[in-house]
Amino acid sequence: MSKKVFWLALCALLFALSFSAEAQQTKKMPRLGFLVPGAQVAFATRADAFRQGLREFGYVDGQNIMIEYRYAERGFDQLPDLAAELVQLKVDIIVTAGVGTRAAKKATSTIPVVFAAATDPVGTGLVDSLARSGGNITGVTNLSEDLDGKRLELLKETVPKLSRLAHLWNPNSPKSEVQSAARGLGLKLQTLEVQSSDEFDNAFQTIVKDRAEPLIISPSPFFITFETRIVDFAAKNRLPSINQSSSYVQAGGLMSYGLVFGDNFRRAAYFVDKILKGTKPADLPVEQPTKFEFVINLKTAKQIGLTIPPNVLARADKIIK
């Protein structure tokens, strides 16, 4: 009788262990796609910010959530294929930015898409409205098109005698407001289109040949990938310059004014958490950033022989010495 009880108990234990193991296998670990329009090194700090945001909601990559990273290392042309890869992997959510959002939208109408930075998502057709997306996409805007004029004003204040300037622009990115802002300030603008790495040399040669004054770089993930190249050119030719991202100044650029991109990527984790817990993207209003920063690199200013006016220095949120 005791043997019978023993075997019954053993069978019950094995059944319980088997059931527990099966339950653990059945519980699927969420899988995210991380799709960005640029090189891994250029988006490293933003990927870190996103992972930090996930940790704040209790998610740790490789432990209770998986992230499939896809970087458009060679250019925007890669994005459709990379988005298609993530769809084939049946990820639960695609987190993206910039033109990567358009690629994700074309690749799927069912997998939720969260953008960490998108210029004019209503005007570009990504969502129906900021209050209600009307589809599978939501996230945080970057408002970059509204800030071009502000950057130009800061550049004009920094170089009071400014009359004409060079403007790097990627036509694959959203429209720029620099031209209208330049007209309003009575400035002549030399716009140079650059959408591939082999077009930089011609653009730089034109700037030097025409003796353009300061340089303004319109927002584009493409330019983030080539920040060091732009910084080196500006330094070599002693050109004051301004960009949207503080990473440009940290790399040696003169100034930047724009949103804190790390905050946007960190905030994207909020949308991921809500969606994983059952909220539909259409029910999550698109958010707009509220924090912007003006950064100046005084070391660079000294190298190019420029004295930053006190009134401009006083407005800086961060100064690199």
Which CATH number fits the domain 144-259+293-320, given the four candidates 3.10.150.10, 3.30.950.10, 3.40.50.2300, 3.40.630.30?
3.40.50.2300
Cα–Cα distance for residue pair 111/94, rounded to 1 Å: 7
The confidence band for 3, taking pLDDT boundaries of 50, 70 and 90, is low
Evaluate whether 31-142+262-290 and 144-259+293-320 have a shared fold.
Answer: yes
Q: What mean pLDDT do residues 183-205 have?
A: 90
CB atoms within 10 A of CB 19: 10
Cβ atoms 257, 154 nearer than 8 A:
yes
Cβ atoms 175, 145 nearer than 8 A:
yes
Flag whether pLDDT at 52 surpasses 90: yes
Domain boundaries, the chain: 31-142+262-290, 144-259+293-320
Cα–Cα distance for residue pair 307/287, rounded to 1 Å: 38
Cβ atoms 117, 147 nearer than 8 A:
no
Residue with the larger pLDDT of the pair 88 and 19 = 88
pLDDT in the model for residue 31 = 97
Q: What is 31-142+262-290's CATH number?
A: 3.40.50.2300
Percent pLDDT > 70 in the chain is 89
Flag whether pLDDT at 91 surpasses 70: yes
Q: What mean pLDDT do residues 32-61 have?
A: 94
Flag whether pLDDT at 239 surpasses 60: yes
| Residue 216 exposed, middle or buried by CB count within 10 Å (0-12, 13-18, 19+) | buried
pLDDT in the model for residue 319 = 96
What is the reported pTM?
0.79
Predicted confidence (pLDDT) per residue in 102-151, tens digit: 999 999 999 999 999 888 899 889 999 999 988 999 999 986 556 888 89
SS3 (DSSP) at 146: helix
The confidence band for 67, taking pLDDT boundaries of 50, 70 and 90, is very high
- Which residues does residue 255 pair with via DSSP β-bridges, in sequence order? 242, 296
Alpha carbon distances (Å) from 171 to 177, 270, 299, 321:
13, 32, 32, 34
The confidence band for 24, taking pLDDT boundaries of 50, 70 and 90, is very low
Cα–Cα distance for residue pair 215/234, rounded to 1 Å: 8
